[in-house]
Structure 1
Amino acid sequence: MTVVVFECEYKGLRYAGLGLPVPGRPHTLHRVAEDTLRAAVLAGGPQAVAEAVTADPETVTVAVDDPELRLLPPLLPTAGNDSLVNGFMGTHRSKFDRAPAPDEEFVAPNYYLKGSGSWLRLPGEPLVTPAEPVWLLEEPEIALVHVNDEDGNPRYAGYTFGNDLNDIGVHLQNKWAWTPYAKLCETSVTPWLFLDEPPRTVTGRVTVERDGAAAWQGDFSCGLDSLFQRVEDMTAHLFAHPLLRRPGLVNYLLLGADKATYHDGFRIEDGDRLVLDVTSHGVVLDNTVQYGQAVAARS
């Protein structure tokens, strides 16, 4: 069975837990230092991470929906410049008109830099977009988490799930140049780190709620079996670039998304609540869209 770990802050102190907590039910948390879990990734991989969570005997028992508990993105360093959110585009088989041949030569998919890890948002938090987006698109994705060791070697820690909200309308206005603008929306991730290889099968359902009612619903898949490219080729190609191998860097790598609201002609609006129910893994990622403030005109 896949082990799940998470980090949080409770009454000003940092803790970690094992397993997926259930809202309203008590869950045991263990005191950890800010870098405990990242160091365990470098020391020995998933088993070392699970053991590191319970190494400190100091514990508290609290419900995950306690108002004094604040969940954290997986392995996020305190220093915002020590983490990176980035990803691939056009990776899903649903966006190709054929299946890849078994021996097909690898062609790297389009790539983008999203921003610092400090830009990540968690379930329940708003996702801020530009003040006047053209056409927003939610994107349920697997996010691979890597930690670079002191020599700059990326060490795979596990995976979580994210919503790479973006303005596909801007991207379509100029596919070759404006994608970085399209990605200037906040991204959310679940706080749960699954200590296992990237999953072959991930299925779920997106619901867009407007004024408290479901305005759009659709299924999605984002496991490795849904991808056109091989994930080992994608990561090897990416980490061939030295700038992404800076010692100590935590890398959140989004693997791309299936077709969703935009492909069905639906427009996400300010105030809509996006609910990504990853049913295959028992987790939910929900965020409300919030249009950002326009820049004040200068006199």
Structure 2
Amino acid sequence: MRLIQCEYQHQVRAALVENEQQVRLLDADTYTLARRAIAAGTPLGDIVESSVTETRLDYQRLIDERRLLPPLTHPDPAHCLVTGTGLTHLGSADTRSAMHAKAQVSEAELTDSMRMFRLGVEGGKPQDGKPGAQPEWFYKGDGDCIVAPEAELPVPAFAEDAGEEPELAGLYVIGDDGTPWRVGHAIGNEFSDHVTERFNYLWLAHSKLRACSFGPELLVGELPAHLEGVSRIVRDGATLWEKPFLTGEANMAHSLANLEHHHFKYAGFRRPGDVHVHFFGTATLSFADGIRTRDRDRFEIDLPAFGQPLRNPLRFEPATPASVAIPSL
């Protein structure tokens, strides 16, 4: 089952994807439907089936009219937390081989990144029910950093780079008792500043404070263990760069359950009513192939299991005035 959210008569409404041409409107937004499911102790799919209306909408028209919204939102963006984990994917066979070869050097020669990767390979998928190795973790922002599918990704004037990160995003709602509930998964473009990160890994936090996008569709139910997609950049109507990518647990050093545990183990991330968008990492970047993006370039991330691809053009923002001293009250 796949859901979208869209603007309908000046309201946020969820809709069930019936096929590539048509969606069927539901009687509420995704957040409300998820809250109903939690309160009733009922699977979200059952709530969706009981919430369908007779209104059907043209899917392509919603796309063309820029009426698509992220498939899960909170009415108050401050109550949506956007985070992620890195160094989680094994990558292609060649990349994996190269990384494993580097991991065989002595402990003294390992970079911090390679230590983190090796921790995941060795302990990211525990089989005894206990927590596994902690992953790298980062914060991106609240709901205001989320850009709708088809909408522009803003690039601040101070940014050194504007690079895509094609990956899975887990979407969650926290129940009234503080229990995190997984609503489903979506295609994500975590979008980072790789030049800033490369200069010094301690600037990773700065590199992640950027916009992001996910959707347009929310996959409800079991996530396939192996997923194959394509990430591309389109410039002036032509494909500038394109590369396949793998994701899903079969292609990861960590289990999704382990990544979720190490996020939600913090009480501050279990605040009743909050929404969480958590990116699970990637192994495929155009930046690694020497690509530098420009204004109006368009990212396209296609995972067939998730229906329509996620597309976002870039918008480079003009320079802002020089910073001024912050006044005291």
When normalised by structure 1's length, the TM-score is 0.88
**Structure 1 segment 26-41 matched on structure 2, within 5 A:** 26-32=22-28, 35-41=31-37
Give the Cα separation in 2 of the matches to 1:210 and 1:33. Answer: 34
2:69 to 46, 69, 72: 72
Give the Cα separation in 1 of the matches to 2:306 and 2:30. Answer: 27
CA deviation vs aligned residue, 1:232-290 (integer Å, no higher than 9, x gap): 11211221111101111111110001122111122122221111121343330111111
Q: Could you say what secondary structure the match of 1:283 adopts? A: coil
What is the percent sequence identity of the aligned residues?
Answer: 28
CA change 1:11–1:296 in 2 (3 A) is: same
Q: CA deviation at 1:7?
A: 2.6
Give the Cα separation in 2 of the matches to 1:129 and 1:33. Answer: 29
Q: Could you say what secondary structure the match of 2:39 adopts? A: helix
Is the Cα–Cα contact under 8 Å of residues 205 and 279 in structure 1 kept in the other structure? no
Corresponding residue of 1:208:
233
Q: Could you say what secondary structure the match of 2:147 adopts? A: coil
When normalised by structure 2's length, the TM-score is 0.81
Is the Cα–Cα contact under 8 Å of residues 16 and 32 in structure 1 kept in the other structure? yes
State the one-letter code of the partner of 2:35.
A
| Alignment coverage as a number of residue pairs | 293
Does 2:38 correspond to 1:42?
yes
Q: CA deviation at 1:123?
A: 2.0
- Which has more helix, going by share of residues? 2
Give the Cα separation in 1 of the matches to 2:229 and 2:308. Answer: 10
CA change 1:128–1:21 in 2 (3 A) is: farther
Give the Cα separation in 2 of the matches to 1:225 and 1:61. Answer: 37
Does 2:80 correspond to 1:55?
no
CA change 1:214–1:34 in 2 (3 A) is: closer
**Bigger shift: residues 13-22 or 270-279:** 13-22
Q: CA deviation at 1:107?
A: 2.4
The 4+ residue runs of structure 1 with deviation greater than 4 A are 101-105
Corresponding residue of 1:230:
255
CA deviation vs aligned residue, 1:56-111 (integer Å, no higher than 9, x gap): 57532221233667222223111111111110011111366238357699321211
Gap runs ≥5 in structure 1: none
Is the Cα–Cα contact under 8 Å of residues 206 and 217 in structure 1 kept in the other structure? yes
CA change 1:18–1:236 in 2 (3 A) is: same
Give the Cα separation in 1 of the matches to 2:199 and 2:32. Answer: 45
Does 2:175 correspond to 1:149?
yes
Give the Cα separation in 2 of the matches to 1:62 and 1:103. Answer: 45
**Bigger shift: residues 284-293 or 6-15:** 6-15
**Bigger shift: residues 282-291 or 159-168:** 282-291
Give the Cα separation in 1 of the matches to 2:25 and 2:46. Answer: 13
Corresponding residue of 1:120:
146
Query: Looking at CA atoms only, which structure, 1 or 2, has the larger radius of gyration?
Result: 2
Corresponding residue of 2:111:
none
Q: Could you say what secondary structure the match of 1:171 adopts? A: helix
**Bigger shift: residues 34-43 or 225-234:** 34-43
2:155 to 102, 108, 129: 129
